[in-house]
Amino acid sequence: MESNQTWITEVILLGFQVDPALELFLFGFFLLFYSLTLMGNGIILGLIYLDSRLHTPMYVFLSHLAIVDMSYASSTVPEMLANLVMHKKVISFAPCILQTFLYLAFAITECLILVVMCYDRYVAICHPLQYTLIMNWRVCTVLASTCWIFSFLLALVHITLILRLPFCGPQKINHFFCQIMSVFKLACADTRLNQVVLFAGSAFVLVGPLCLVLVSYLHILAAILRIQSGEGRRKAFSTCSSHLCVVGLFFGSAIVMYMAPKSSHSQEQRKILSLFYSLFNPMLNPLIYSLRNAEVKMALKRVLWKQRSM
Protein backbone atom coordinates (compact mmCIF):
# COMPACT_ATOMS: atom_id res chain seq x y z
CA MET A 1 0.00 0.00 0.00
CA GLU A 2 1.21 3.49 -0.72
CA SER A 3 2.14 5.64 2.26
CA ASN A 4 -0.10 8.53 1.23
CA GLN A 5 -3.33 6.49 1.44
CA THR A 6 -5.71 7.49 4.23
CA TRP A 7 -7.18 4.79 6.46
CA ILE A 8 -10.81 5.36 7.41
CA THR A 9 -11.68 5.94 11.08
CA GLU A 10 -15.44 6.24 10.70
CA VAL A 11 -18.15 4.96 8.39
CA ILE A 12 -21.35 6.57 7.10
CA LEU A 13 -24.36 4.23 7.15
CA LEU A 14 -26.69 5.34 4.34
CA GLY A 15 -29.55 3.20 5.69
CA PHE A 16 -32.97 3.65 4.10
CA GLN A 17 -32.65 6.57 1.70
CA VAL A 18 -36.18 7.97 2.00
CA ASP A 19 -37.88 11.29 2.80
CA PRO A 20 -37.37 12.69 6.34
CA ALA A 21 -41.10 12.34 7.09
CA LEU A 22 -41.01 8.66 6.13
CA GLU A 23 -37.89 8.19 8.28
CA LEU A 24 -39.91 9.26 11.35
CA PHE A 25 -42.63 6.77 10.43
CA LEU A 26 -40.03 4.01 10.00
CA PHE A 27 -38.51 4.95 13.36
CA GLY A 28 -41.87 4.45 15.11
CA PHE A 29 -42.62 1.28 13.15
CA PHE A 30 -39.25 -0.37 13.85
CA LEU A 31 -39.26 0.78 17.48
CA LEU A 32 -42.62 -0.96 17.94
CA PHE A 33 -41.31 -4.17 16.39
CA TYR A 34 -38.12 -4.02 18.46
CA SER A 35 -40.13 -3.50 21.65
CA LEU A 36 -42.34 -6.48 20.75
CA THR A 37 -39.23 -8.57 20.12
CA LEU A 38 -37.80 -7.80 23.56
CA MET A 39 -41.17 -8.20 25.27
CA GLY A 40 -42.14 -11.46 23.52
CA ASN A 41 -38.81 -13.17 24.09
CA GLY A 42 -38.67 -11.79 27.62
CA ILE A 43 -42.07 -13.34 28.36
CA ILE A 44 -40.88 -16.71 27.00
CA LEU A 45 -37.79 -16.52 29.23
CA GLY A 46 -39.89 -15.53 32.25
CA LEU A 47 -42.38 -18.36 31.74
CA ILE A 48 -39.62 -20.96 31.44
CA TYR A 49 -37.96 -19.64 34.60
CA LEU A 50 -41.18 -19.38 36.65
CA ASP A 51 -42.96 -22.58 35.62
CA SER A 52 -41.20 -25.77 36.81
CA ARG A 53 -43.16 -27.84 34.25
CA LEU A 54 -41.15 -26.11 31.52
CA HIS A 55 -37.81 -27.11 33.04
CA THR A 56 -37.21 -29.67 30.30
CA PRO A 57 -34.52 -29.84 27.57
CA MET A 58 -36.90 -28.55 24.89
CA TYR A 59 -37.66 -25.37 26.82
CA VAL A 60 -34.07 -24.93 27.98
CA PHE A 61 -33.08 -24.71 24.32
CA LEU A 62 -36.05 -22.42 23.67
CA SER A 63 -34.75 -20.10 26.41
CA HIS A 64 -31.38 -20.01 24.63
CA LEU A 65 -33.21 -19.15 21.39
CA ALA A 66 -35.01 -16.28 23.15
CA ILE A 67 -31.69 -14.92 24.48
CA VAL A 68 -30.15 -15.17 21.01
CA ASP A 69 -33.12 -13.41 19.41
CA MET A 70 -32.96 -10.47 21.84
CA SER A 71 -29.19 -10.20 21.41
CA TYR A 72 -29.45 -10.62 17.64
CA ALA A 73 -31.92 -7.76 17.27
CA SER A 74 -30.06 -5.57 19.78
CA SER A 75 -26.81 -5.85 17.83
CA THR A 76 -28.23 -3.80 14.93
CA VAL A 77 -31.64 -2.26 15.63
CA PRO A 78 -30.66 0.43 18.23
CA GLU A 79 -28.04 1.82 15.81
CA MET A 80 -30.60 1.74 12.98
CA LEU A 81 -33.15 3.59 15.12
CA ALA A 82 -30.59 6.24 16.09
CA ASN A 83 -29.63 6.78 12.44
CA LEU A 84 -33.27 7.26 11.44
CA VAL A 85 -33.58 10.33 13.69
CA MET A 86 -30.04 11.72 13.27
CA HIS A 87 -28.85 13.81 10.36
CA LYS A 88 -25.24 12.55 10.54
CA LYS A 89 -25.40 8.78 10.28
CA VAL A 90 -21.85 8.01 11.33
CA ILE A 91 -20.35 5.06 13.21
CA SER A 92 -16.70 4.71 14.20
CA PHE A 93 -14.77 1.94 12.46
CA ALA A 94 -14.09 -0.12 15.62
CA PRO A 95 -17.79 -0.25 16.72
CA CYS A 96 -18.67 -1.06 13.11
CA ILE A 97 -16.41 -4.13 13.14
CA LEU A 98 -17.75 -5.08 16.59
CA GLN A 99 -21.30 -4.89 15.23
CA THR A 100 -20.32 -7.17 12.33
CA PHE A 101 -18.78 -9.67 14.77
CA LEU A 102 -21.78 -9.76 17.13
CA TYR A 103 -24.27 -10.01 14.29
CA LEU A 104 -22.42 -12.97 12.75
CA ALA A 105 -21.95 -14.69 16.12
CA PHE A 106 -25.62 -14.44 17.12
CA ALA A 107 -26.81 -15.46 13.63
CA ILE A 108 -24.67 -18.62 13.70
CA THR A 109 -25.74 -19.37 17.28
CA GLU A 110 -29.42 -19.16 16.29
CA CYS A 111 -28.81 -21.54 13.40
CA LEU A 112 -27.12 -24.12 15.62
CA ILE A 113 -29.65 -23.79 18.45
CA LEU A 114 -32.43 -24.52 15.94
CA VAL A 115 -30.58 -27.69 14.86
CA VAL A 116 -30.15 -28.79 18.49
CA MET A 117 -33.87 -28.19 19.10
CA CYS A 118 -34.62 -30.39 16.09
CA TYR A 119 -32.38 -33.14 17.53
CA ASP A 120 -34.24 -32.84 20.84
CA ARG A 121 -37.60 -33.35 19.09
CA TYR A 122 -36.17 -36.26 17.09
CA VAL A 123 -35.07 -38.07 20.27
CA ALA A 124 -38.35 -37.25 22.08
CA ILE A 125 -40.58 -38.61 19.31
CA CYS A 126 -38.48 -41.36 17.72
CA HIS A 127 -36.87 -42.69 20.93
CA PRO A 128 -39.28 -41.70 23.73
CA LEU A 129 -38.23 -44.47 26.15
CA GLN A 130 -34.58 -43.40 25.98
CA TYR A 131 -35.26 -39.65 25.95
CA THR A 132 -34.33 -38.90 29.58
CA LEU A 133 -31.19 -41.01 29.24
CA ILE A 134 -30.01 -39.40 25.98
CA MET A 135 -31.09 -35.80 26.68
CA ASN A 136 -29.83 -35.54 30.25
CA TRP A 137 -28.79 -32.19 31.71
CA ARG A 138 -25.09 -32.79 31.03
CA VAL A 139 -25.78 -33.42 27.33
CA CYS A 140 -28.03 -30.33 27.15
CA THR A 141 -25.33 -28.16 28.74
CA VAL A 142 -22.66 -29.49 26.37
CA LEU A 143 -24.87 -28.97 23.29
CA ALA A 144 -25.86 -25.41 24.26
CA SER A 145 -22.28 -24.45 25.21
CA THR A 146 -20.92 -25.89 21.95
CA CYS A 147 -23.40 -23.80 19.94
CA TRP A 148 -22.29 -20.57 21.63
CA ILE A 149 -18.53 -21.28 21.62
CA PHE A 150 -18.39 -22.54 18.02
CA SER A 151 -20.46 -19.57 16.77
CA PHE A 152 -18.24 -16.96 18.37
CA LEU A 153 -15.08 -18.73 17.15
CA LEU A 154 -16.38 -18.89 13.56
CA ALA A 155 -17.38 -15.22 13.70
CA LEU A 156 -13.89 -14.45 15.03
CA VAL A 157 -12.36 -16.17 11.99
CA HIS A 158 -14.31 -13.87 9.65
CA ILE A 159 -13.38 -10.76 11.66
CA THR A 160 -9.68 -11.76 11.76
CA LEU A 161 -9.68 -12.07 7.96
CA ILE A 162 -11.43 -8.69 7.67
CA LEU A 163 -8.91 -6.94 9.92
CA ARG A 164 -6.06 -8.13 7.66
CA LEU A 165 -7.48 -5.96 4.88
CA PRO A 166 -6.48 -2.32 4.33
CA PHE A 167 -9.47 0.03 4.63
CA CYS A 168 -8.99 3.28 2.79
CA GLY A 169 -12.45 3.93 1.39
CA PRO A 170 -15.06 4.43 0.16
CA GLN A 171 -16.34 5.63 3.51
CA LYS A 172 -20.03 4.90 2.90
CA ILE A 173 -21.97 1.69 3.53
CA ASN A 174 -25.24 1.37 1.63
CA HIS A 175 -26.94 -0.49 4.48
CA PHE A 176 -28.54 0.21 7.87
CA PHE A 177 -25.78 -1.64 9.77
CA CYS A 178 -22.24 -2.96 9.21
CA GLN A 179 -23.26 -6.07 7.32
CA ILE A 180 -20.21 -8.17 6.44
CA MET A 181 -20.59 -8.02 2.65
CA SER A 182 -20.98 -4.25 2.85
CA VAL A 183 -17.82 -4.03 5.00
CA PHE A 184 -15.90 -5.90 2.28
CA LYS A 185 -16.62 -2.98 -0.08
CA LEU A 186 -14.73 -0.59 2.22
CA ALA A 187 -11.47 -2.44 1.59
CA CYS A 188 -8.99 -1.25 -1.00
CA ALA A 189 -7.63 -4.76 -1.62
CA ASP A 190 -8.75 -8.08 -3.07
CA THR A 191 -11.51 -9.61 -0.88
CA ARG A 192 -11.95 -12.86 -2.79
CA LEU A 193 -10.52 -14.92 0.07
CA ASN A 194 -12.98 -13.32 2.49
CA GLN A 195 -15.87 -14.01 0.14
CA VAL A 196 -14.85 -17.65 -0.36
CA VAL A 197 -14.53 -18.20 3.40
CA LEU A 198 -17.90 -16.49 3.96
CA PHE A 199 -19.58 -18.67 1.33
CA ALA A 200 -17.97 -21.83 2.73
CA GLY A 201 -18.99 -20.85 6.27
CA SER A 202 -22.53 -20.11 5.12
CA ALA A 203 -22.77 -23.51 3.43
CA PHE A 204 -21.44 -25.19 6.57
CA VAL A 205 -23.84 -23.52 9.03
CA LEU A 206 -26.87 -23.21 6.73
CA VAL A 207 -27.04 -25.95 4.09
CA GLY A 208 -25.53 -28.73 6.24
CA PRO A 209 -27.76 -28.11 9.28
CA LEU A 210 -30.82 -27.62 7.07
CA CYS A 211 -30.23 -31.06 5.50
CA LEU A 212 -29.93 -32.56 8.99
CA VAL A 213 -33.18 -30.86 10.01
CA LEU A 214 -35.04 -32.15 6.93
CA VAL A 215 -33.77 -35.72 7.38
CA SER A 216 -34.67 -35.62 11.09
CA TYR A 217 -38.18 -34.40 10.32
CA LEU A 218 -38.74 -37.17 7.81
CA HIS A 219 -38.03 -39.65 10.64
CA ILE A 220 -40.18 -37.58 13.02
CA LEU A 221 -43.09 -37.52 10.56
CA ALA A 222 -42.89 -41.28 10.13
CA ALA A 223 -42.84 -41.74 13.92
CA ILE A 224 -45.81 -39.37 14.41
CA LEU A 225 -47.89 -41.27 11.87
CA ARG A 226 -47.26 -44.46 13.85
CA ILE A 227 -48.63 -42.93 17.08
CA GLN A 228 -51.96 -44.60 17.87
CA SER A 229 -53.31 -41.91 20.22
CA GLY A 230 -54.98 -38.95 18.49
CA GLU A 231 -54.09 -36.66 21.40
CA GLY A 232 -50.43 -37.75 21.30
CA ARG A 233 -50.31 -37.19 17.57
CA ARG A 234 -51.78 -33.67 17.90
CA LYS A 235 -49.31 -32.75 20.65
CA ALA A 236 -46.36 -33.98 18.57
CA PHE A 237 -47.58 -32.08 15.49
CA SER A 238 -48.08 -28.93 17.60
CA THR A 239 -44.52 -28.76 18.94
CA CYS A 240 -42.92 -29.85 15.65
CA SER A 241 -44.93 -27.46 13.46
CA SER A 242 -43.84 -24.53 15.66
CA HIS A 243 -40.21 -25.49 15.23
CA LEU A 244 -40.60 -26.04 11.48
CA CYS A 245 -42.12 -22.56 11.04
CA VAL A 246 -39.16 -20.95 12.82
CA VAL A 247 -36.63 -23.07 10.88
CA GLY A 248 -38.26 -22.22 7.56
CA LEU A 249 -38.30 -18.47 8.23
CA PHE A 250 -34.70 -18.33 9.45
CA PHE A 251 -32.97 -20.71 7.03
CA GLY A 252 -34.96 -19.54 4.02
CA SER A 253 -34.13 -15.85 4.40
CA ALA A 254 -30.51 -16.50 5.41
CA ILE A 255 -29.80 -18.81 2.44
CA VAL A 256 -31.32 -16.31 0.02
CA MET A 257 -29.22 -13.55 1.59
CA TYR A 258 -25.80 -15.21 1.80
CA MET A 259 -25.80 -17.93 -0.85
CA ALA A 260 -27.83 -16.48 -3.75
CA PRO A 261 -25.84 -14.87 -6.60
CA LYS A 262 -25.13 -11.17 -6.06
CA SER A 263 -26.87 -10.14 -9.27
CA SER A 264 -30.17 -11.77 -8.26
CA HIS A 265 -30.99 -9.12 -5.63
CA SER A 266 -30.64 -5.34 -5.60
CA GLN A 267 -29.09 -3.63 -2.58
CA GLU A 268 -32.53 -2.42 -1.44
CA GLN A 269 -33.87 -5.99 -1.58
CA ARG A 270 -30.89 -7.14 0.49
CA LYS A 271 -31.69 -4.48 3.10
CA ILE A 272 -35.26 -5.80 3.36
CA LEU A 273 -34.01 -9.39 3.66
CA SER A 274 -31.56 -8.33 6.39
CA LEU A 275 -34.34 -6.50 8.17
CA PHE A 276 -36.56 -9.57 7.96
CA TYR A 277 -34.20 -11.97 9.70
CA SER A 278 -32.66 -9.42 12.09
CA LEU A 279 -35.92 -7.87 13.35
CA PHE A 280 -39.06 -9.63 12.13
CA ASN A 281 -37.77 -13.18 12.69
CA PRO A 282 -36.85 -12.58 16.37
CA MET A 283 -40.24 -10.94 16.89
CA LEU A 284 -42.18 -13.77 15.23
CA ASN A 285 -40.42 -16.63 17.05
CA PRO A 286 -42.09 -16.12 20.47
CA LEU A 287 -45.46 -15.57 18.77
CA ILE A 288 -45.13 -18.85 16.87
CA TYR A 289 -44.13 -20.79 19.98
CA SER A 290 -46.80 -19.21 22.19
CA LEU A 291 -49.69 -19.47 19.71
CA ARG A 292 -48.92 -22.99 18.47
CA ASN A 293 -47.64 -24.56 21.69
CA ALA A 294 -50.23 -25.73 24.21
CA GLU A 295 -47.69 -26.08 27.04
CA VAL A 296 -46.54 -22.46 26.71
CA LYS A 297 -50.15 -21.24 26.66
CA MET A 298 -50.96 -23.27 29.76
CA ALA A 299 -47.84 -21.97 31.53
CA LEU A 300 -48.90 -18.40 30.75
CA LYS A 301 -52.38 -19.08 32.18
CA ARG A 302 -50.88 -20.60 35.34
CA VAL A 303 -48.55 -17.63 35.88
CA LEU A 304 -51.39 -15.11 35.30
CA TRP A 305 -53.71 -17.05 37.62
CA LYS A 306 -51.00 -17.15 40.30
CA GLN A 307 -50.46 -13.38 40.01
CA ARG A 308 -54.24 -12.75 40.17
CA SER A 309 -54.70 -14.88 43.28
CA MET A 310 -51.88 -13.17 45.21
Q: What is the DSSP string of 43-90?
A: HHHHHHHH-GGG-SHHHHHHHHHHHHHHHHHHTTHHHHHHHHH-SS-E
Q: In whole angstroms, what is the distance from residue 87 CA to residue 74 CA?
A: 22
8-state DSSP, 110: H
Asked whether residue 45 is assigned to any structural domain, the reply reads yes
Give a yes or no: residue 2 inside a domain: no
Bond into 170 cis (ω within 30): yes
Q: What is the CATH number of the domain that holds 158?
A: 1.20.1070.10
Range of the domain at 43: 10-303
The verdict on residue 4 lying in a domain is no
Residue 85, domain member (yes or no): yes
Asked if residue 186 lies in contact with residue 104, where contact means CB atoms within 8 angstroms, the answer is no
DSSP secondary structure of 83-97: HHH-SS-EEEHHHHH
Which pLDDT score, from 0 to 100, does residue 1 have? 42
- Give the model confidence (pLDDT) of 218-273 as tens digits: 888 888 888 777 776 777 777 677 777 788 878 877 777 766 665 545 667 778 77
What total number of domains does the chain contain? Answer: 1
Specify if 309 maps to a domain: no
How far does the chain reach from its first CA to its final CA, in angstroms?
70
pLDDT at 54: 85
> Is residue 210 in a domain?
yes
| Ranges under pLDDT 50 in the chain | 1-6, 264
Q: What pTM did the predictor assign? A: 0.87
114 within domain boundaries: yes
Residue at 249 is within a domain: yes
What's residue 259's pLDDT?
67
